[in-house]
Chain A
């Protein structure tokens, strides 16, 4: 009898524990089923926000102080492609955050998966704060609006001013001059490379392809057209492939300990990167403070003046969020209100997408103390940047980039082959899902 009672107690305990464990996975503060998403909620609401902007919790604290009715809780994420995968998985599992930082290239995947809400109705007033090109990145060429732009990533050339003088190189104006400079550097010092081609950063390659005029995706009528393997992209790929094969450009990936070391000790002289570069440089190459400068990207033909985008992100609202109106209100404030923009710039080191926010940037980053006109340069470059439409399966394309370019570097095979693999993988994936494809 005694054992029976004991075991009954044990069973009950375990069952209770299990039940508690299972119930704990849901968000207790978000009611599971609510009415229409746009109804104004009664009483204070709590919003969760996934972002990788540094110090966003401080910015949210300012909002929370002023808006006791809408409390925003920040959950710090690791950025990059993993962040997008994590959000898509959470959305599929049914418990996404209310607000999410979405890189422009991932937004179409979010929309295609039905993970983010069309907030065109609520976000109308914000539209005027952004340039049409910037706003186009969150509408995807439709009538809807799927996010509010936050920051933008025009690309430019970061270079070591002091070492350029030491090796007697001019800042390259064209890619031909860049290649020539790469050879010069190699001939003067075998330890030093002018630059490196990273097979791990599809975003950088996409930006360079944009500069060359590529259109990886486009919409014609009710069908997608995939043009990754186009002449412009092949030109960019062949250019870098040739330099790597020649041995004048290194092939170590960006953001590795090795790369950090090379940036820091002056054995890597340039980095074609985006406007968020200063944060990366100051964190990883502290010895280079004051020695780096920016210039426009080299051009494909002399006299041209174009750039591309690497990264840049927006604030989107989850389709499943029960507090859509409140979430849009916060997202609008965060990316258009002068006080919030100031905070984004000062605390978050963000280069804001809003025109007003960009105009507010005057003091150069501390790391670029040697270049007082840093932001004027950036603004001029930003005006020349052109992007392209991103497709609904960028994650597949980007993964194919990493594998195919890894292989091209390993086997010393032509980069154009890797571009073809990207095209084929992307099309195969879209075909499998049933997307309408233009011939």
Chain B
């Protein structure tokens, strides 16, 4: 019983289309346009009309793809992301399972306590952690040096762990809540059945709960993956405190540097397109790989 025709469906669609055009299609189109442009200066470049915007074709895009510093940035993000994803999602899963188990006390309080860091804005959190990391201000320095000499938490080898710690601290609560909510929606009868069959709490968690959670785990992984590709806040806010983070530490930082520090919007646009492309490939690639496992019931 399909009914066609009439302007009503289109009217309902209009707000979405308008919003999509204004805030998604137009900016993306403009970025693509900018990436094909560049500045051309004549002579000393001083005075009126000495600087023109010209069409440069794919030169910016080629330069972005050929930039070794950008790929070095991807490598750093890869290491950082591996740490963050595994630790953050692992902890989120663990906490969700613990909170959902029958015997836990203070569940409500723990839930809020774990979730609370998510409410702290990223910049504020990074600055707070930054002060804790600074050798002369850090309260951790005393115990740390008692244990095994000086540890510079912002040093070349350690800074990536310090950054990952900030992201994990802020992200566990949100992901835990997603997983926990999914668990609460599961009919209790499943567990009763498992218990009658003689399954221990651990067996229930591993054999019943985690398979049920699979779609939610995939979801949180994709979200976290995308957030990791876009890592910007932590390194940018920690950068003034240490000399171990360059202005192009992560790919997104390179975009920011090109656009707002060295004033080359065109290169920044080209690099953005490369980053968006990689983010798309990675997230869809991941979904493709896990689709069958996670959504087999559909």
Contacts and interface: CB of A to CB of B under 8 A. Distances in A.
Interface string A279-305: 000000000000000000000000000
23 contacts: A18-B22, A22-B22, A81-B261, A85-B261, A85-B263, A89-B263, A112-B51, A113-B263, A142-B47, A219-B44, A223-B43, A253-B243, A257-B134, A261-B136, A395-B261, A395-B262, A395-B263, A396-B262, A406-B243, A406-B244, A409-B243, A434-B40, A435-B44
A410 B40 contact: no
Contacts of B262: 393, 395-396, 399, 429
Interface in B252-272: 257, 259-265
B235 to A, nearest CB: 12
B156 interface: yes
A344 B89 CA distance: 56
A111 B135 contact: no
B244 A112 contact: no
A410 B18 contact: no
Contacts of B22: 18, 22
B46 A402 contact: no
Contact of A8 (B11, B241, B263): B11
B145 interface: no
A123 interface: no
Given A14-B18, A111-B47, A256-B241, 20 more contacts: A7-B8, A11-B15, A14-B19, A85-B263, A89-B263, A111-B46, A114-B48, A114-B49, A251-B243, A261-B136, A395-B263, A403-B246, A407-B243, A410-B243, A410-B244, A433-B39, A433-B40, A434-B45, A435-B41, A436-B44
Contact of B8 (A3, A15, A114, A222): A3
B243 to A, nearest CB: 4
A257 B137 contact: yes
Interface residues of B, number: 45
Interface in B1-33: 7-8, 11-12, 14-15, 18-19, 22
Given A88-B263, A399-B247, A403-B247, A224 B11 contact: no
B54 to A, nearest CB: 9
A256 B12 contact: no
A221 B114 CA distance: 66
Contact of A112 (B45, B156, B257, B261): B45
Interface in A215-261: 219, 222-224, 251, 253, 255-258, 261
Report the 9 A-B pairs with minimum CB-CB distance, sorted nearest first.
A406-B243, A434-B41, A112-B45, A7-B11, A396-B262, A85-B260, A433-B41, A409-B243, A403-B246
B44 A223 contact: yes
Interface of B: 7-8, 11-12, 14-15, 18-19, 22, 38-51, 131, 134-137, 156, 240-241, 243-248, 257, 259-265
Main secondary structure of the interface of A (DSSP, over half): helix
Interface of A: 3-4, 7-8, 10-11, 14-15, 18, 22, 81-82, 85-86, 88-89, 92, 108-109, 111-114, 118, 140, 142, 144, 199-200, 219, 222-224, 251, 253, 255-258, 261-262, 392-393, 395-396, 399, 402-403, 405-407, 409-410, 429, 432-436
Contacts of B248: 403
Contact of B51 (A3, A114, A261, A402): A114
A368 B244 CA distance: 36
Contacts of A392: 41, 44-46
Contacts of B245: 406
A224 B44 contact: yes
B111 to A, nearest CB: 34
Nearest to B59: A432
B134 A258 contact: yes
A112 B243 contact: no
Query: For A142, A403, A405, which residue has the most chain B Cβ atoms within 10 angstroms?
Result: A403
Nearest to A200: B240
A11 B14 contact: yes
Contacts of B42: 434, 436
Given A108-B46, A392-B46, A256 B240 contact: yes
